[in-house]
Structure 1
Amino acid sequence: MRSRDSSSMVTPGPRFGLARVLSKRGVCSRSVAAQWVVSGRVTVNGRIERNPEFPVREGIDKVGLDGHPLDAPRRCCLMLNKPRGLLTTTQDEQGRDTVYRCFDGHDLPWLAPVGRLDKASEGLLLFSNDPAWAARLCSPQQGPDKTYAVQVRGLCGPAHLQRMGEGIVDAGERLAVKQVEMMRQGEKNSWLRIVLDEGRNRQIRRILAALNLPVMRLIRIAVGNVELGELGKGEWRWLSEAEMSGLG
């Protein structure tokens, strides 16, 4: 009996649901991918497949969209100077404005926010079509530092700065900043430059609330090597290859 030539055997790759495969390749969100599958726009190995959870073998099965092979698009990323008052989401059930309003009139590919800025916050927000790359940027272990300019009500002294570095406990979580320094101070408020190496929910606001320093403005001014610079409110620009490589 002839033995099978091991060099001609293909090792099956991991299996993922069809909708997830489309999302991982950066062509659309997972929910939109599921709609495309159900509507009959997607094929697997030349056959229409209407089950969004149909298992696809990475590296083996050929996925198509609208009759054309589905190749992963080139990674692209842009930065937006998010205005205050916009939600960081694709759509809102209550009809409130989202960050995507800033892209109206521009023929952009599918892009998802990399991390978040809450409604009251503003400044540098990244968008990418590469979910895996975006996940690495948001990881506390792998992601770049994030820098903020924060205006607080009240006069901030050395003891406050020390407490921010040492950390506080809020709702069972220990919250601290990586770096903090005074930028300038007026008669009734202070501007701080704060660097985080992790991104817990409303982290800066919770720390400052615990120190009785209510936040008046919170502006993200840098993510790793990418700085907000002179980009106007509500404006956006593409990141260069060097900027994307520098982020990780």
Structure 2
Amino acid sequence: MAVKERQRLDKLLTHMGFGTRKEIKKLIKEKRVQVNGELAREPGLHVIPGRDHIDVDGEPLEYRQYIYLMLNKPQGVLSATEDRLAKVVVDLLPPRYRAFHPFPVGRLDKDAEGLLLLTNDGKLAHQLLSPKKHVPKTYYAVVCGMVTEIDVEAFRQGIILDDGYRTMPGELKILCPGPEAEVELTIYEGKYHQVKRMFAALGKKVTYLKRIAMGSLVLDEQLKPGEYRELTAEEIGKLRELNPPTLPPDLFSAKI
């Protein structure tokens, strides 16, 4: 959506990730910026984003208010925008995206990997994180310990965690049984370390965790850990269309 208020040219270009105010001033001095087909001569020139045609180095500027990025979060990186000691997911992005001040929608454990949505659209983030929405989150996990149908039923009923909280019902599928079981699970809330704590309550330990889906958004298999891409218009539209309840009706009846 285009913003109709006038803005200083240097402020706009800085927001779009073209550099600092000082660097933008240099771009203009080097005659590399045009506005409506004419060379921009002053950094303080007022323009209307989305209406005035702006070119930088011959390339048209596509103004947008929000960005939506699908990241395959690697292990060892925090789901945060800043940290004094550890690397955070925003550090994986180039300046042109960091200029929009994106933040992770929800979180993944530091040692977990997989799908993480980064955006600066606070309204959509609130919608996806709202407890009333019950947005499903699906994971692939490797679990130390035999996973049985008894565990599948325990997930379906909801599991009492170490602090006494009983989780909402979840769905557990055994992909490969054995002492190092491979499973796929879907939960409908996002408590702290929830997946690990649910299995711990069953006497088992998660040794590998990867989120593969959140709502309608499915991790792009082409993305290697640390890689990202912009969401398509269709993916953004489906996320915005989420309406409660997304929890299957039979699971509602399982909750006590």
Moved over 2 A (4+): 66-76
SS at match of 1:160: helix
Look up the equivalent residue of 1:98 and give its one-letter code. Answer: V
- The question of whether the paired residues in 1 share the 8 Å contact of 2:104 and 2:116 is answered with yes
The reply to whether residue 180 of structure 1 matches residue 172 of structure 2 is: yes
Query: What residue is the counterpart of 2:239 in the other structure?
Result: 247
Query: What residue is the counterpart of 2:246 in the other structure?
Result: none
The reply to whether residue 218 of structure 1 matches residue 229 of structure 2 is: no
- The question of whether the paired residues in 2 share the 8 Å contact of 1:91 and 1:98 is answered with yes
In structure 2, C-alpha distance between the alignment counterparts of 1:89 and 1:126, rounded to whole Å: 12
Worse overlay, 150-159 or 106-115:
106-115
Query: What residue is the counterpart of 2:220 in the other structure?
Result: 229
Q: 1:168 to 1:142 in 2, by over 3 A?
A: closer
Structure showing the higher strand proportion among its residues? 1
Query: What residue is the counterpart of 1:140 in the other structure?
Result: 131
- Any residues of structure 2 matched to 1:84-233 within 5 Å, and which? 84-93=75-84, 95-103=85-93, 105-108=94-97, 109-142=100-133, 144-170=135-161, 171-186=163-178, 188-230=179-221, 231-233=223-225
SS at match of 2:128: helix
| Number of residue equivalences | 182
In structure 2, C-alpha distance between the alignment counterparts of 1:68 and 1:190, rounded to whole Å: 61
Query: What residue is the counterpart of 2:252 in the other structure?
Result: none
SS at match of 1:107: helix
- The question of whether the paired residues in 1 share the 8 Å contact of 2:175 and 2:183 is answered with yes
SS at match of 1:195: strand
In structure 2, C-alpha distance between the alignment counterparts of 1:156 and 1:178, rounded to whole Å: 15
SS at match of 1:229: coil
In structure 1, C-alpha distance between the alignment counterparts of 2:111 and 2:48, rounded to whole Å: 39
Look up the equivalent residue of 2:91 and give its one-letter code. Answer: R
In structure 2, C-alpha distance between the alignment counterparts of 1:118 and 1:232, rounded to whole Å: 18
- Displacement of 1:88 after TM fit? 1.0
Query: What residue is the counterpart of 1:74 in the other structure?
Result: 65
- The question of whether the paired residues in 1 share the 8 Å contact of 2:79 and 2:107 is answered with yes
Give 5+ residue unaligned stretches, structure 2: 1-14, 16-43, 50-62, 241-256
- Displacement of 1:142 after TM fit? 2.3
Identity %: 34
Q: What do you get for the CA RMSD once the two structures are aligned?
A: 2.3
If the length of structure 1 is used for normalisation, what is the TM-score?
Answer: 0.67
If the length of structure 2 is used for normalisation, what is the TM-score?
Answer: 0.65
